[in-house]
Structure 1
Amino acid sequence: MLDMLTRWYQRRFSDPHAVSLVAILLGGFLTIYFFGNLIAPLLVAIVLAYLLEWPVSQLTRLGLPRTPAVTLVLLVFAGLMVMAVFGLMPTIWHQVANLVAELPNMFNGLQEYVSSLPERYPDFVQPHQISSVMMTFRDKVMGMGESVLKGSLSSLVSLATIAVYLILVPLLVFFLLKDKDEMMAMLKGFLPRNRRLASEVGAEMNEQISNYIRGKVTEIFIVGIASYVTFEVMGLRYAVLLGVLVGFSVLIPYIGAAAVTLPVAMVGLFQWGISPDFWWLLVAYGIIQALDGNVLVPVLFSEAVNLHPVAIIVSVLVFGGLWGFWGVFFAIPLATLVKAVWHALSSAEFSEEPASSE
């Protein structure tokens, strides 16, 4: 067994470039794992810098110097964000307040409907089963209420954190975009010299992450707007809130779409009951999800289509458990990174076989 492991290690890591690649990846993993909370503003700034690099590069190609181009793009982006926040947040907050106020009525209606099931289906449902389920559900709702209360008490800390982000993140984004070449040259000075494989994987992942972030933002807007328009046309209550939830659900592949189905179905059920309108809502929502998964995602994320759905779900669970939100957000690029590193190490091994056989 030891000889087999020794041969495997020598075959995989006899190339110093492969050793450098693994060392760089291990260093990045440990840094984010142990210091992720400390460098969270930097991570947010890097994501925004990737998002805004494309318009900045387009302006520089038109002849505008990089610093004015970065300033212009940041001002436009900040203006759009302010308009979106002040345009959507009052409506979303109002709908959230109304939904919370109606939750007791929804719970009572659900309890009455469930309590009638033993009379309708006496052979399948027993009264004691209904009582146990409703008590468990009530305990869960009470626990959610306590969590909301605790979150409200800690809102002052959250507001302070947001204030820090509003100051630090724009500054970091500005300098990341303005001095990108200088920072990349400085970063390369800290890396090992034998980094051919790391450079190949890095160049591929740089393009992948850039396309992924732009594509994910585009997907959020398209799915969110399409869902809002559909819900509004059908007369569904809380259309803005549900549209925003459906839009942001695409951040978590597969799992997000399944999770947000519950509030959409619950609101439709309590508004219309078991009626044709309710079933049409589910059909329309299913069509949106089908178009997103089978048309929009293949167009925006051509490389992600090459990943098996099981690999994507496993990457969401693993990286989400390790790094929380960032692990979930970058689950697909991280899965692609694992695939690229595996191919790079395999190609390094195969390239050495002829030389070792001579």
Structure 2
Amino acid sequence: MYSAQEPSLQDRMPRGLELALRFGVPALVAVACAWVALWVVGQTRFALVPMAVAMLVTALLTPSVRWLHGRLGLNRYLAGGLCLITLMAAVATLVTLATRTMVRQMGSITRLAQESLSATAEWLRDGPLHVDDAQLQEGVNKGQEWLASNSQGIAQTAMKFSGSVTEVGAMVLLVVVSAFFFLGDGPAIWRSVLWLVPHRSRARQLEASRRSWRSLELYARTAVAVAAIDALGIWLGCVVLGVPFAVPVAMLVFVASFVPFLGAIVSGVIAVGIALFAKGLTTALLMLLVVLLVQQLEGNVLQPLLMGKAVSLHPYAVIIGVSLAGYLWNLPGALLAVPVMAVVMAWLRYLNDDDRFPELGTLSRRDESDDEDKSGDQLVQDDEAGHSPVGARSVSAS
């Protein structure tokens, strides 16, 4: 008698259902995990954002701390504290200078505002719109009524702003404290983090983290250099053209340079707008030329020359990353998107045998058979002298 083998459940399953189970379920699990991760990051951004900024500050100040510790023999905490104090003094000096400039020029700006309003009213009366005085007064009255009816909302917005100022102050304090400990005892902190990594992969993850840290160091230094050159160019343009608020505009350009594409557009529009408001159309066009020249210098010379190896990201990936991070976490997300992407890509490239920093070498060469008997603990302990990613000292010369 003929007896056929009973078909398996997979053979009896419709092809569409099989594909859905094979690819759809893992995709849904991945999306759910990503959503949970984004939600956790959003809920803990008060701590994560200062820590990320502190790591950028650490990457920027690490060469100075290394020099003070190695050449002058200063304790790492003392060297880190001196570098942080110097940086904060420089920032405070620039903020004070910008504030004094704004206060000193506020009278002239008020006068220019009155003249601009008068010229606008005259154009509305004598221009193609032919708006009479009664219509102008009606518009002014509606504006006053709107202010009166929305005064409570404006007051609530002011209270929210004061609360935001308090929150920002607390975050700045957390940045300073975190950077101080990262600079002073970064290797021990990173060793504690690596203990969470599985035993056999600890050495490889250490090498990947060293590449990520080198990428972050290069990004921090080159980003500051590019932002400083941009700010200097805009400042010189404002000084030569006689545009007011040269120092505040330069500081705005410096900060905005850390947000790719969008930051340059916003700061350029503000600079040209101030020139138009204060000096007229001709000066505004000349200021626009200065802004375009600076942006071309940054995009075609500075970015490829200085930032290429540090970031190595496609411009479209940068646009998507900055847009998504800015949408989810506002300005901090837009500022931190590129360095986070650079760190992650350097890490993943090394794990996929694409070492962008071969000059770093490895902390200890060992055979694959040794990895089964030895963990990365000894590597991490050897690295405590300064090779770990947080406050690291590279094997090669910086």
Normalising by structure 1, report the TM-score: 0.71
Distance 1:328 1:194, change over 3 A: farther
Distance 1:55 1:31, change over 3 A: farther
The structure 1 residue matched to 2:224, chosen from 206, 217, 227, is 217
Higher Cα radius of gyration: 2
Give 3-state SS (helix, strand or coil) of 2:46's partner: coil
Structure 1 window deviating more from structure 2 (104-113 vs 327-336): it is 104-113
- How far residue 252 of structure 1 moved from its aligned partner, in angstroms, is 1.4
| Alpha-carbon distance in 2 for matches of 1:96, 1:185 | 53
| Alpha-carbon distance in 1 for matches of 2:120, 2:280 | 11
| Alpha-carbon distance in 2 for matches of 1:44, 1:305 | 17
| Structure 2 residues without counterparts, runs of 5 or longer | 1-15, 25-29, 355-398
Give the letter for the 2:316 counterpart. Answer: V
Tell me if structure 2 keeps the 8 A contact 1:230–1:284.
yes
| Alpha-carbon distance in 2 for matches of 1:268, 1:67 | 46
Give 3-state SS (helix, strand or coil) of 1:329's partner: helix
Aligned to 2:285: 279
| Alpha-carbon distance in 2 for matches of 1:248, 1:288 | 15
Aligned to 1:242: 249
| Alpha-carbon distance in 1 for matches of 2:44, 2:291 | 40
Give 3-state SS (helix, strand or coil) of 1:190's partner: coil
Q: Does 1:308 align with 2:297?
A: no
Give 3-state SS (helix, strand or coil) of 2:91's partner: helix
Give 3-state SS (helix, strand or coil) of 1:47's partner: helix
Structure 1 window deviating more from structure 2 (172-181 vs 157-166): it is 157-166
| Alpha-carbon distance in 2 for matches of 1:107, 1:337 | 50
Tell me if structure 2 keeps the 8 A contact 1:304–1:332.
no
Tell me if structure 2 keeps the 8 A contact 1:95–1:241.
no
Aligned to 1:204: 211
The structure 2 residue matched to 1:74, chosen from 49, 63, 84, is 84
The structure 2 residue matched to 1:49, chosen from 58, 63, 78, is 58
Tell me if structure 1 keeps the 8 A contact 2:212–2:347.
no
| Alpha-carbon distance in 2 for matches of 1:93, 1:7 | 66
| Alpha-carbon distance in 1 for matches of 2:106, 2:208 | 44
The structure 1 residue matched to 2:274, chosen from 267, 274, 291, is 267
The structure 2 residue matched to 1:171, chosen from 164, 177, 196, is 177
- How far residue 70 of structure 1 moved from its aligned partner, in angstroms, is 2.1
- How far residue 347 of structure 1 moved from its aligned partner, in angstroms, is 6.0
Distance 1:258 1:59, change over 3 A: same
The structure 1 residue matched to 2:197, chosen from 174, 191, 194, is 191
The structure 1 residue matched to 2:264, chosen from 254, 257, 273, is 257
Aligned to 1:83: 93
Give 3-state SS (helix, strand or coil) of 2:281's partner: coil
| Alpha-carbon distance in 1 for matches of 2:163, 2:306 | 37
Give the letter for the 1:269 counterpart. Answer: L
1:288-316 alpha-carbon deviations (Å, 9 max, x no partner)? 11112212222321136743322211111
Give the letter for the 1:188 counterpart. Answer: L
Give the letter for the 1:309 counterpart. Answer: P
| Alpha-carbon distance in 2 for matches of 1:168, 1:91 | 30
Aligned to 2:187: 181
CA RMSD after TM alignment:
4.2
Aligned to 1:59: 68
| Alpha-carbon distance in 1 for matches of 2:331, 2:293 | 28
Distance 1:151 1:88, change over 3 A: farther
Distance 1:82 1:262, change over 3 A: closer
| Alpha-carbon distance in 2 for matches of 1:234, 1:53 | 39
Tell me if structure 2 keeps the 8 A contact 1:41–1:165.
yes
- How far residue 228 of structure 1 moved from its aligned partner, in angstroms, is 1.0
Tell me if structure 2 keeps the 8 A contact 1:59–1:69.
yes
| Alpha-carbon distance in 2 for matches of 1:297, 1:234 | 27
Tell me if structure 1 keeps the 8 A contact 2:77–2:181.
no
| Alpha-carbon distance in 2 for matches of 1:286, 1:112 | 33
Sequence identity percentage: 22
1:271-299 alpha-carbon deviations (Å, 9 max, x no partner)? 34333x43322222211111122122223
Distance 1:45 1:333, change over 3 A: closer
Tell me if structure 2 keeps the 8 A contact 1:220–1:248.
yes
| Alpha-carbon distance in 2 for matches of 1:107, 1:313 | 38
Give the letter for the 1:246 counterpart. Answer: V
Give the letter for the 1:313 counterpart. Answer: I
Give 3-state SS (helix, strand or coil) of 1:179's partner: helix
| Alpha-carbon distance in 2 for matches of 1:74, 1:343 | 32
Tell me if structure 1 keeps the 8 A contact 2:259–2:335.
yes
**Structure that is richer in helix per residue:** 1
Distance 1:167 1:272, change over 3 A: closer
Normalising by structure 2, report the TM-score: 0.65
Structure 1 window deviating more from structure 2 (166-175 vs 55-64): it is 166-175
- How far residue 264 of structure 1 moved from its aligned partner, in angstroms, is 2.1
Aligned to 1:329: 335
Tell me if structure 2 keeps the 8 A contact 1:96–1:241.
no
